[in-house]
């Protein structure tokens, strides 16, 4: 039996699902680049393919648009019967990405197509690296997109994760179609966390147009207009704090607890 994550040459009749990380080429895993190099077909959203454009010469490239994920998955499978096919997602394909729908379509087809999944740096990690060390212990991620999950369910999840005081990473915080979901998330957070709780808004982490704002749960309303669909929002937990030096904000620290055990 071959498991989905197993590394093997990408050959005809094979499929790879590849995470392309946050954007800049240097944050893409070498294995992801190697697999793309071996592909006959590369399928993915045009924005994600831009950094690997130099690897696409001579390949069939299918640039798909958002909201057509099921068609994209079916198409990939169809082609993978006779070609080496790579389907890409931004960040990690298994985190609000293409991996699950491809696996579901494959499961339903009952076909025995070889599959490799190459992980990528997800937005939570990319954004955290720009904001200090806000996710040093347990944390949760919640997507505020209610395209596939009803808002009522998202609300329950928000209430649960904020109630235990761990840092929370909000993916898909805002878009034109759902401008109010971030406000709802902030209301849940404020029910459980003090106003001084650190918050990071990281837009376009590790790609062009990067911008990081560090603020607090109490003061974040003044910068909410800076949040868009290219932003990841990190709301600290009960132990998170802002690290300042000479009145400058250096980042967010969520201690892991070394101070309880060691002197430093």
Q: Which residues bind ligand SAH (CB under 6 A)?
A: 22-23, 89-92, 95-97, 122-123, 126-127, 171-173, 202, 204-207, 229-232
Q: Which residues contact 165 (CB under 8 A, 6 or more apart)?
A: 192, 193, 237, 238, 239
Q: Which is nearer to ligand SAH, 40 or 115 (CB)?
A: 115
Minimum CB separation of residue 72 from ligand SAH in Å reads 14
In 3-state terms, what secondary structure has residue 117? strand
Nearest CA-CA partner of 88 in 55, 123, 49:
49
Cβ nearer to ligand SAH, comparing 14 with 232? 232
> DSSP assignment, residue 112?
-
Least distance from C-beta 242 to ligand SAH, angstroms? 20
Who's near 64: CB < 8 A, 6+ residues apart? 43, 44, 45, 71, 72
Between 129 and 197, whose beta carbon lies closer to ligand SAH? Answer: 129
Q: Whole-number minimum distance, CB 127 to ligand SAH, in Å?
A: 5
Chain centroid, CA 82 distance in Å: 31
Name the residue number minimizing CB distance to ligand SAH: 91
Q: Are strands 140-143 and 168-171 parallel, antiparallel or unpaired?
A: parallel
Residue 238 CB, nearest approach to ligand SAH (Å) = 24
What 3-state DSSP class applies to 73? helix
Residue 127 or residue 193: which is nearer to ligand SAH going by CB?
127
Q: How far is the CB of 5 from ligand SAH (least distance, A)?
A: 16
Q: Give me the least distance between CB of 171 and ligand SAH, in Å please.
A: 4
Measure the CA–CA gap between 65 and 59, rounded to whole angstroms. Answer: 19
Which CB atom, from 40 or from 102, has the smaller least distance to ligand SAH? 102
d(CA 48, CA 17): 13
Give the distance between the most distant pair of CA atoms in the chain.
Answer: 62
Q: Which is nearer to ligand SAH, 114 or 210 (CB)?
A: 210
């Amino acid at each position: 039996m071959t498991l989905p994550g197993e590394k093997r040459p990408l050959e005809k009749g094979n499929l790879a699902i590849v995470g392309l990380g946050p954007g800049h080429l240097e944050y893409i895993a070498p294995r992801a680049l190697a697999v793309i190099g071996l592909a006959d077909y590369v399928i993915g959203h045009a924005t994600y393919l831009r950094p690997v454009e130099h690897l696409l010469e001579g390949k069939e490239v299918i640039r798909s648009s958002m909201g057509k994920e099921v068609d994209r998955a079916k198409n990939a499978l169809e082609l993978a019967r006779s070609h080496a096919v790579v389907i890409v997602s931004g960040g990690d394909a298994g985190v609000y990405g293409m991996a699950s729908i491809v696996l579901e379509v494959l499961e339903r087809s009952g076909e025995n197509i070889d599959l490799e999944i190459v992980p990528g740096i997800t937005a939570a990690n990319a954004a955290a690296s720009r904001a200090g060390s806000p996710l040093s212990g347990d944390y949760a991620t919640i997507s505020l997109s209610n395209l596939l999950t009803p808002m009522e369910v998202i609300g329950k999840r928000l209430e649960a994760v904020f109630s235990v005081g761990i840092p929370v990473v909000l993916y898909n915080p805002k878009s034109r179609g759902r401008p109010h979901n971030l406000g709802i998330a902030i209301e849940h957070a404020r029910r459980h966390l003090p106003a001084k709780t650190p918050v990071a808004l990281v837009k376009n982490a590790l790609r062009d147009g990067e911008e990081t704002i560090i603020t607090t749960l109490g003061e974040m309303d003044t910068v909410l207009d800076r949040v868009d669909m290219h932003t990841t929002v990190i709301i600290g937990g009960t132990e998170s704090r802002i690290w300042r030096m000479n009145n400058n904000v250096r980042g967010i620290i969520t201690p892991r607890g070394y101070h309880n055990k060691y002197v430093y």
